[in-house]
Amino acid sequence: MSVPVSRIEKEFILKNLVEKKAPVEVRYFDQWVAGLINDVDDSGAVICLSDGDVPVPGGDTEAQVFFKFRGARMTFHAKALALKGSDLRIAIPQGIYRDLSRGFERVAPGADMSLSFLAQGERIELNFPKSEISDETPEEPETMPNFDAAKMTNLLKAFREKAQTFSSENKIVMFRERKPESFEEKLVTVTGKTFLYPQSMVKHTAEKDLILSPRLLTQEEIILAQTNQGLELFQVINLLNKTEKDKNTKNILQELYSPILYHAYVVGYLYLVSFKDGGQKFSQKVIDFIFQFGRLLVHSLKVNGYFKGEPVKERVETAEVIDVSASGIQFALPLNHFENVLLLYNDLSFDLTVGEREMKAGGRIMRKFSDRGRLYICVMFLDIKDEDRRFLMEALYGSAQTPDFYPSSEDWTV
């Protein structure tokens, strides 16, 4: 399996091949020819072939080039433009592909091996209830007419005026001075999702009344959340029946609790209720408005200094190395703490210590999975010094000799 590199990476790799005079192998007219890339400019590249006795390219002739870059196998296709002596001129390739198959054997780490890194994500510590989900919204949300994020008083007034047009009562409840108490408050805090009565409490809702959103709680999710809190199924059913009876007694037509999420914290919720006497049901536009306003409110609170917790970048010293090879490393961390920090295909810089030697390296997270509360991260090396790689190969395999493993073209899935 292979994946394309980015445009910036492609330009860097081609330039590096020229500077390092890195060897390449070229599949050309069904022949394998070794060579060096001598020059690259906007019009193409020149490969000096070790064997000049090859056919002159025709109109549709292509060359497929294989090479290794920082331990990773790579290839590209390019149109062959001209042959002058042993110099084959080719067009700039449309893409360069990196082979993701394992090129080196993975080895269990020794006792003298450790890994540490600076987490690239932010860890926010606040005195608010935590949710099971996290809302990472670093960008300023889309504003609404008459909503000024910097003027909190005007923002809240505009919300009340808008909400009065489609609800009997409305309010904004914050958890700064109090904790969740009611069934609904605890439910939206734990799940990070919106409770909409009666839709969230029934298995099926009439199509004309159905509100579509993955952020709305379903009956199954409510039952699961309660059983995860230690309740038996019959207790949950009784609790739902009691809750529905209470709402009927209060003459409630529809009710909404929408959590206000800041990272993994529920800092409060937006509340709407419509009563059966003169009230109206909430439309899809109302729900969309509530979700949008929740994001705008969080942004306004942040602008106005409501959140006192500071983002912290932390040094991780406890990563457990599972195995390592000359092309990558696998390590384990606590699941809950790093699941939302280390994201798939993100780049990571880290320090790898083997014995008394400390190596700085960079790589890309190519795979992640969890098991029994631990998060496993598999990183492919992208940036490691040649002398460090040779040292690592000596330490792992007893030799720094790099095997010749260029594949035939049919071995690549491009």
Which pLDDT tens digit goes with each residue over 73-123?
A: 788 888 888 888 888 889 988 888 876 555 566 677 766 777 777 665 444
CA 48 and chain centroid, separation: 42
User: Residue 330 corresponds to which tokens in the numbers above?
Assistant: 């696998």
* pLDDT over 90 (residue 351): no
Q: Minimal CA–CA distance to 49: which of 30, 72, 28?
A: 28
138 vs 272, residue with greater confidence: 272
pLDDT given for residue 138 in this prediction: 43
pLDDT given for residue 406 in this prediction: 44
pLDDT given for residue 133 in this prediction: 67
State the number of CA atoms in the 13 A half-sphere of 201 facing the CB: 21
What is the pLDDT confidence band of residue 212, given thresholds at 50, 70 and 90? confident
* pLDDT over 50 (residue 403): no
Q: What does the pLDDT look like over 311-338, one tens digit per residue?
A: 555 555 557 788 888 778 888 887 777 7
Q: What does the pLDDT look like over 156-207, one tens digit per residue?
A: 888 899 999 999 999 999 987 788 999 999 999 988 999 999 999 988 888 8
Residue type, 273: V
* pLDDT over 60 (residue 12): yes
Range from 133-137, 299-303, 410-414 that averages highest in pLDDT = 299-303
User: Residue 165 corresponds to which tokens in the numbers above?
Assistant: 């047009």
What whole-number distance in Å separates Cα of residue 298 and Cα of residue 170?
18
Report how far apart, in Å, the C-alpha atoms of 84 and of each of 55, 58, 87, 236, 239 are. 11, 14, 5, 81, 84
Q: Residue 5: CB partners within 8 Å, gap ≥ 6?
A: 13, 74, 95, 96, 97, 98
What whole-number distance in Å separates Cα of residue 253 and Cα of residue 236?
22
Q: Encode 272-285: b = buried (16+ Cβ within 10 Å), e = exposed.
A: bbbbeeebeebeee
Choice among 27-36, 216-225, 248-257, 315-324 with the minimum mean pLDDT: 315-324
What is the three-class DSSP state of 284?
Answer: helix
Q: What is the mean pLDDT of residues 342-359?
A: 81
User: Residue 171 corresponds to which tokens in the numbers above?
Assistant: 């309010």
What whole-number distance in Å separates Cα of residue 187 and Cα of residue 192?
8
What is the pLDDT confidence band of residue 245, given thresholds at 50, 70 and 90? very high
Q: Which position has the token pair 């790689």?
A: 389
pLDDT given for residue 53 in this prediction: 72
First to last CA, the chain: 7
* pLDDT over 50 (residue 48): yes
315 vs 371, residue with greater confidence: 371
Contact, 228 vs 198, CB < 8 A?
A: no
Mean pLDDT, the chain, as a whole number? Answer: 80
Q: Which position has the token pair 């790099």?
A: 402
What is the pLDDT confidence band of residue 21, given thresholds at 50, 70 and 90? confident
pLDDT given for residue 376 in this prediction: 86
List the Cα angle 358/70/375 in 5-degree steps. 60
Range from 61-65, 283-287, 354-358 that averages highest in pLDDT = 283-287
pLDDT given for residue 249 in this prediction: 94
Rg of the Cα trace of the chain?
Answer: 30
Q: In 111-182, which ranges are continuous DSSP H helix?
A: 152-163
pLDDT given for residue 318 in this prediction: 58
**Verdict on whether the full-model pTM lies above 0.75:** no
The torsion angles phi and psi of 151, rounded to 5 degrees, stand at -110, 95
Q: Could you tell me the domains of the chain?
A: 2-99 (2.30.110.10), 113-123+312-397 (2.40.10.220), 130-303 (3.30.450)
pLDDT given for residue 123 in this prediction: 47
**Beta strands 347-354 and 113-118: pairing type?**
antiparallel
Beta partners for residue 12, in sequence order: none
Report how far apart, in Å, the C-alpha atoms of 145 and of each of 150, 254, 296 are. 14, 27, 12
pLDDT given for residue 118 in this prediction: 65
